[in-house]
């Protein structure tokens, strides 16, 4: 997700510059090449969905909490001969507690996209690499991209990821990855009318897990992701970033399996997000409770 900072800080570093622009350009080209190459692979299976979720306890650093958001999502997951592709794009619409501009009555709007490609080493080598609780090993690469229109930061996050993945032998799936993150941003404050040139954070690791596990033979499943992100050095404004914890989990019910419609088509459920030191901002610092989100949500999905 995007990094958001105190609006009044923007004028302190209005001339900040990117530290490694050639590295980012090269990594961007690599990620684009991977995305295009894997997209060309014929899918052996796929699952595409549209979803909506809503909560009233979202938080933003320096803006506070009790922010309401509607989030619309498109997700496509597919498997091909040598691995899997995952693409997700959110449209996030806040109420005016996260304003779109200074003194605005409208809320912020954001687009956030994620792409991940996982190459299965065993499939590439044509060998069974199952070991203990692990059914396979892979290499994951991809990117995050966002743009947000809000009063104080107007995030333009760009992030590339790369690292090993362990695929666990469980019902459904459980993948755990250790990824290197190359992240940058180029914020622009509407409060001070100053902008920061694209700034690259220190390369840093993320331990991440993603899962989708059926609950026995019932219509219910336990799904979600968890990220433990190390500090990424100092931010654009000279503040030291902190270790970030982001856990997003949901219990979903397959309405078709409950007797209403075709199984695997429509799901409803409840979701909860725990996010401490949001975007690496210190929850014990001036950002206050907005850097420590505890957000229940309702969720509905349509798969086709």
**What confidence tens digit (pLDDT) does each residue in 156-196 have?**
999 999 999 999 999 999 999 999 999 999 989 888 888 98
Q: Say if CB 186 and CB 197 are below 8 A apart.
A: yes
Element (H, E) at 30: helix 21-39
Measured between alpha carbons, how far is 223 from 252 in angstroms, rounded to an integer?
Answer: 7
Domains contained in the chain, number:
1
**Residue 2: inside a domain, yes or no?**
no
* 4 confidence band (pLDDT: 50, 70, 90): very low
Q: Is residue 295, in this structure, part of any structural domain at all?
A: no
Q: Does 298 map to a domain?
A: no
Q: Does any domain span residue 100?
A: no
Range of the domain at 27: 7-42+117-285
Task: Note the Cα 277 to chain centre separation in Å.
Answer: 15
* Confidence class for position 237, pLDDT limits 50, 70, 90: confident
Tokens of 117: 């490609």
Radius of gyration of the chain (CA): 20
Measured distance between the N- and C-terminal CA atoms of the chain, rounded to whole angstroms: 27
Asked if residues 73 and 51 have their Cβ atoms less than 8 Å apart, the reply is yes
On whether residue 48 sits in a domain, the answer given is no
Q: Does a structural domain hold residue 77?
A: no
Q: What is the three-class DSSP state of 27?
A: helix
Q: What is the mean pLDDT of residues 119-134?
A: 95
Pairing between β-strand 109-120 and β-strand 158-168 as defined by DSSP bridges: unpaired
Take residue 53 and report the two structure tokens written for it.
């979720």
For residue 263, pLDDT over 60 is answered with: yes
- CATH code at position 157: 2.40.230
Checking if the pLDDT of 7 tops 80, the result is no
Is residue 126 one of the residues assigned to a domain? yes
On whether residue 187 sits in a domain, the answer given is yes
pLDDT of residue 190: 87
| DSSP calls for 64-103 | EEEEEEEEEEEEEEEEETTEEEEEEEEEEEE-TTSBSSTT
Q: CA-to-CA distance for 18 and 57, rounded, in angstroms?
A: 34
Tokens of 76: 């496509």
Q: What is the pLDDT averaged over residues 215-243?
A: 96
């Amino acid at each position: 997700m995007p990094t958001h900072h105190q609006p009044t800080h923007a004028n302190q570093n209005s001339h900040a510059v990117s530290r490694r622009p050639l590295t980012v350009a090269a990594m961007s080209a690599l990620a684009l090449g991977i995305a295009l190459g894997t997209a060309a692979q014929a899918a052996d299976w796929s699952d595409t969905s549209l979803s909506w979720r809503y909560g009233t306890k979202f938080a933003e650093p320096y803006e506070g909490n009790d922010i309401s958001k509607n989030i619309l999502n498109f997700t496509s997951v597919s498997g091909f001969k040598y691995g899997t592709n995952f693409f997700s794009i959110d449209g996030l619409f806040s109420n005016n507690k996260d304003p779109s501009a200074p003194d605005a009555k409208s809320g912020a709007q954001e687009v956030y996209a994620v792409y991940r490609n996982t190459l299965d080493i065993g499939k590439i080598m044509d060998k069974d690499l199952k070991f203990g609780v692990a059914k396979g090993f892979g290499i994951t690469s991809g990117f995050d991209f966002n743009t947000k229109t809000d009063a104080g930061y107007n995030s333009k996050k760009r992030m590339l990821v790369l690292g090993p993945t362990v695929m666990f032998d469980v019902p459904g799936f459980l993948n755990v990855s250790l990824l290197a993150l190359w992240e940058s941003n180029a914020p622009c404050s509407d409060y001070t009318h100053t902008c920061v040139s694209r700034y690259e954070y220190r390369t840093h690791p993320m331990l991440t897990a993603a899962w989708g596990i059926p609950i026995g033979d019932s219509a219910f499943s336990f799904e979600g992701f968890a990220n433990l992100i190390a500090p990424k050095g100092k931010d654009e404004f000279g503040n030291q970033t902190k270790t970030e914890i982001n856990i997003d989990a949901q219990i979903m019910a397959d309405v078709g399996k409950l007797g209403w419609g075709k199984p695997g088509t429509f799901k409803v459920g409840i979701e909860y997000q725990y996010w401490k030191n949001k975007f690496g901002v210190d929850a014990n610092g001036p950002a206050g409770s907005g850097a420590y989100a505890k957000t229940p949500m309702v969720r509905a999905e349509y798969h086709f």
